[in-house]
């Protein structure tokens, strides 16, 4: 059974904190993605990676960075958390044919 696992289901952080969201996939997929999902705005792409140490900005990269040191792990970093980063964060991965994106269970982040 394919698996994309996010490190936390719920997180509460304070404004200004550095926040790490971790995602691990066990399908040997090349491509990994970080999205945030907000009511009325749908899924918006933050960053994606198509190979180890490679990353590309998505549509809303401001305030975020990513790290991909190993193929199976893709981390999203909030350098200095702000209240407008309160959201549901979803990690996904796809294989070379890109026919299906598998999603993690999501991390609901609240910044107070």
What residue ranges bind other proteins (CB under 8 A)? 30-31, 33, 35, 40-45, 48, 50, 56, 58-59, 90, 92, 94, 98-101, 103-106
Task: List all residues 6 or more positions away from 6 whose beta carbon is below 8 Å from its beta carbon.
Answer: 21, 22, 23, 89, 90, 91, 104, 105, 106, 107
Q: What share of the chain is helix, strand, coil (3-state, %, to 5)?
A: 5, 55, 40
C-beta closer to other proteins: residue 80 or 110: 110
Q: Which residue has the tokens 């996939």?
A: 25
CB of 14 to other proteins, least distance (A): 25
CB of 70 to other proteins, least distance (A): 18
C-beta closer to other proteins: residue 14 or 59: 59
């Amino acid at each position: 059974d394919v698996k994309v696992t996010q490190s936390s289901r719920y997180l509460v952080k304070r404004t200004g904190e550095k926040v790490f969201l971790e995602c691990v996939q066990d399908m040997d997929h090349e491509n990994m993605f970080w999205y945030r999902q907000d009511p009325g705005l749908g899924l918006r792409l933050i960053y994606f990676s198509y190979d180890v140490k490679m990353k590309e900005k998505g549509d809303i990269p401001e305030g975020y960075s990513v790290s991909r040191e190993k193929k199976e792990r893709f981390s999203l970093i909030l350098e200095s958390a702000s209240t407008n980063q309160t959201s549901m964060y979803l990690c996904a991965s796809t294989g070379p044919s890109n026919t299906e994106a598998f999603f993690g269970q999501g991390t609901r982040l609240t910044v107070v």
